[in-house]
Amino acid sequence: MISLGFPWALLALPLPLLIWWLVPPHKEQVPALRFPFFRRIVAAAGTDAASGAVVMRRSVLQMVSAVLVWSLLVVAMARPERVGAPIEQTRAARDVVLAIDISGSMDAHDFNAPDGTVEQRLQGVRQVVDGFISGRDGDRMALIVFGSKAYVQSPLTEDLQTIRDLLSQTEVGMAGPHTALGDSIGLAIRTFEASDIKQRLLILLSDGTDTVSRMSPVNAAEIARDRGIEIYTIGIGNPKATGEEKVDLKALQDIAQRTGGQYFYAEDSDGLHKVYERIDELAPRETEALSYRPRQALAWLPMLLAALIGIGSTGYLAMRRTKSGARA
């Protein structure tokens, strides 16, 4: 389909006709010499005497060329464009940040796999989280890992394969042996500053107790609540352990409660799968549909045609004038 981007330009089409009607030809008086043998001179020249006022007449070719060139230029100013079929895209209307604990305690081999074997906590978490990420097609996600410090592995992106690759390369202790739970929430809040989407979800997975954060997890959760961020916390590990290897379930519950999220405890791989399924139920994915039509500018076509007509008619008139002069 062809449409005009600026159809108001077509109002300029009758402009030359209005000028021709309203503005008379330019007249100029010049001095003349009068002598008694004028008729003899005219007869000797073989011409006929005519009125002193001379109005240059245009040929039919000039008039037709001028009309066509002006019309084509006006059409070009109206910005003709080819409009394609509508293209619809659906994208998620929420952003998700994954914050994964990779402190030293995640090296413990007490995580039950679906086949009954016992594997490293981080290894089991990686497998389940990888499946969760694969099912987020269309969402924007970010990945944060934390130990003694919290680091952004990937900012918010729709390239989920990159997040999966980065997660698979993450190892225990890369961010230090301790657990900075509050700092990971603070870093997630900063990550969400690049988002203009209202639905913001932080999934926080930890197996330890906060010991080294500069900001307490509770204070960080209150700031997240004020920024419209829901936090879903997941505890893994042994709550009966001692020291930093003991998962602080009460703190995780408090964080989730303060932001309107939910707290979960996962003892094994099956439990963690159910946790992510439950998160999908509690925070269903919202989508928004975007529709647009591709447009291809065509103004160059009437401009090119106008140039060809102008050059062709000018060249033809010049050639004819040259031949007439040669015959004379």
Sign, Cα dihedral of 284, 290, 291, 294: negative
Average pLDDT of 187-193?
Answer: 92
Residue 32 pLDDT greater than 80, yes or no: no
In the chain, the percentage of residues whose pLDDT exceeds 70 is: 85
Query: Would you say the C-alpha torsion 129, 132, 137, 141 has a positive or negative sign?
Result: negative
Read off the amino acid at residue 232. Y
Contact of 113 with 98, CB cutoff 8 Å: no
* Residue 84 to residues 63, 247, 294, 295, Cα–Cα distance (Å): 37, 57, 5, 6
Report the pLDDT value the prediction gives residue 223, as an integer from 0 to 100: 93
How many distinct helices (H) and strands (E) make up the chain?
10, 13
Axis-axis angle for helices 249-259, 217-226 (nearest 10):
20
For the cut 70, the answer to whether the pLDDT of residue 211 exceeds it is yes
Banded pLDDT at 270 (limits 50, 70, 90): confident
Query: In the predicted model, what is the mean pLDDT of the chain?
Result: 82
| The pLDDT value given to residue 55 | 56
pLDDT recorded at residue 99: 93
Instruction: Look at residue 243 in the predicted model and tell me its pLDDT.
Output: 60
Average pLDDT over residues 254-269: 87
Q: Which of 159, 123, 129 is nearest to 142 (CA)?
A: 159
Q: Is residue 83 within 8 Å of 324, Cβ to Cβ?
A: no
143-158 pLDDT, tens digit each:
999 999 999 999 998 8
Average the pLDDT over each of 95-99, 240-244, 308-312 and give the range with the smallest value.
240-244
- DSSP string spanning 131-199? HHHHTTTT-EEEEEEESSSEEEEEEEES-HHHHHHHHHT--TTTT-SS--HHHHHHHHHHHHTT---SE
Look at residue 25 and tell me whether its pLDDT is greater than 80.
no
**Residue 310 CB burial class (10 angstroms; 0-12, 13-18, ≥19):** middle
Residue 297 has pLDDT above 60, yes or no: yes
Whole-number Cα distances in Å, 154 to 5, 162, 182, 234, 315 = 41, 8, 19, 21, 65
203, 163 contact by CB (below 8 A): no
Q: In this model, does residue 39 exceed pLDDT 80?
A: no
pLDDT at 226: 92
pLDDT, position 53: 52
pLDDT band at 222 (very low <50, low <70, confident <90, very high): very high
Give yes or no for residue 177 having a pLDDT over 90. no
Which residue matches tokens 């245009």?
A: 58
Domains in the chain, start-ordered, CATH in brackets? 2-85+294-327 (no CATH), 89-289 (3.40.50.410)
Given pLDDT bands bounded at 50, 70 and 90, which one contains residue 85?
A: confident
Which pLDDT score, from 0 to 100, does residue 91 have?
61
pLDDT of residue 154: 92
What's the one-letter identity of residue 161? Q
User: What pLDDT is recorded for position 184?
Assistant: 93
Least confident range of 2-11, 29-38, 187-196: 29-38
The model's pLDDT over 300-327, given as tens digits with 9 standing for 90+, comes to 898 999 999 989 888 888 887 787 666 5
> In what helix (H) or strand (E) does residue 90 lie, and over which residues does it extend?
strand 87-92
Distance CA 43, CA 33 (A): 18
Q: Which of 23, 41, 25 is nearest to 33 (CA)?
A: 41
Residue 96 forms beta bridges with which residues? 141, 201
